[in-house]
Amino acid sequence: MAAELSPIDQAKFVAARRSVDFVESGMKLGLGTGSTAAWMVRCLAERVRDDGLEVTCVATSTRTVDLARSCGLKVVSLDDVKWLDLTIDGADEFDQNLNLIKGGGAALLQEKIVATASDRMIVIADAAKEVAQLGAFPLPVEVVPFGWQTTKALIEETLYSLDVLNREVSLRMAGDAPLRTDEGHFLLDLNLKRIGNPRQLALVLNQIPGVVENGLFIDICDVVVIGQGDGRVTVRDINSGRIENGAVDITESRNIFADLD
């Protein structure tokens, strides 16, 4: 089954596999949302099953709750544990300073709450997610449904005073209706092409009435684990400056692939 994975899925898998090496028994963990995070949940469950690891998990979406519990992981609410040792999540983009764009999976609000309530955040990603400058991936902004068109207009007006290349804003849809997040909000996707000052943009967006949160994660990520399609993995620690190169043997993970139908 492992041989049938595409190179991009292999890259996501090896990043996820390497990231769970950071997990220690007794930890309280934040579990991210998205395709790469889903690999991590399965890898973590395999460690719990095979190594006797004991962990308590907080998920960042109903999708991750369902997946984690189906894999046999203990999932509680953030209010139950108050604070976490570690959060592992994916990203839609990251730069050399480990600033992130997240929210492609429509879970940015809970993801940011969980990541901020953690001692450390590890991001897992394939190599294509690394960019010189954020902005090619549309920036999600979570907004309340009431007056969302006014909020959209205010965002568009505000963007003219900021260092971005494009100012196209669109409502994310789910079929014929607006997509709703787990919190019942809408998502506006900002197609900016280039974000010159992510920190400034994040602060300004959150001052606009109707905006709940934006998908820029600034000074939150501590470590990024970057996977390659051939099994190579790079671990980069922004705090220590340490870079570690290694590899994951995909053929040793038959159990996790056997679970995928």
Can you say which residues are annotated as belonging to the binding site for substrate?
33-36, 89-92, 102-105, 129
C-alpha triplet 87, 93, 96: angle, nearest 5°: 85
Distance CA 197, CA 121 (A): 22
Sign of CA dihedral 5, 11, 15, 16: negative
CATH number at residue 171: 3.30.70.260
Q: Do 115 and 67 fall into the same domain?
A: yes
* Residue among 93, 111, 142, 213 flagged as catalytic: 111
Q: Which residue has the tokens 């100012």?
A: 167
183-214 pLDDT, tens digit per residue, is 999 999 999 999 999 999 999 999 999 999 99
Distances in Å between the alpha carbon of 129 and those of 14, 25, 228? 15, 30, 11
Q: Say what the pLDDT of residue 252 is.
A: 64
To the query of whether residue 111 is one of the catalytic residues in this protein, the response is yes
Q: Do 53 and 100 fall into the same domain?
A: yes
Torsional class of 219: left (φ above 0), alpha (ψ -120 to 50), beta (otherwise): left
Report residue 111 as tokens. 């993801």
- Residues 218-235, mean pLDDT to the nearest whole number: 97
Q: Looking at the domain assignment, is residue 134 inside a domain?
A: no
Q: Do 195 and 228 fall into the same domain?
A: no
Q: Say what the pLDDT of residue 160 is.
A: 96
Residues spanned by the domain of 67: 2-129+219-258
Residue type, 149: Q
Q: What b/e readout covers 218-235, taking b as 16+ CB neighbours within 10 angstroms?
A: bebbbbbbbbbbebebbb
Please state the pTM of the whole predicted model: 0.94
Q: What b/e readout covers 49-83, taking b as 16+ CB neighbours within 10 angstroms?
A: eeeebebbbbbbbebbbebbeebebebeebeebee
71-116 pLDDT, tens digit per residue, is 999 999 999 999 999 999 999 999 999 999 999 999 999 999 999 9
CATH number at residue 74: 3.40.50.1360
Torsional class of 145: left (φ above 0), alpha (ψ -120 to 50), beta (otherwise): alpha
Distance CA 15, CA 43 (A): 10
146-179 pLDDT, tens digit per residue, is 999 999 999 999 999 999 999 999 999 999 999 9
Can you say which residues are annotated as belonging to the binding site?
33-36, 89-92, 102-105, 129
Q: Looking at the domain assignment, is residue 226 inside a domain?
A: yes
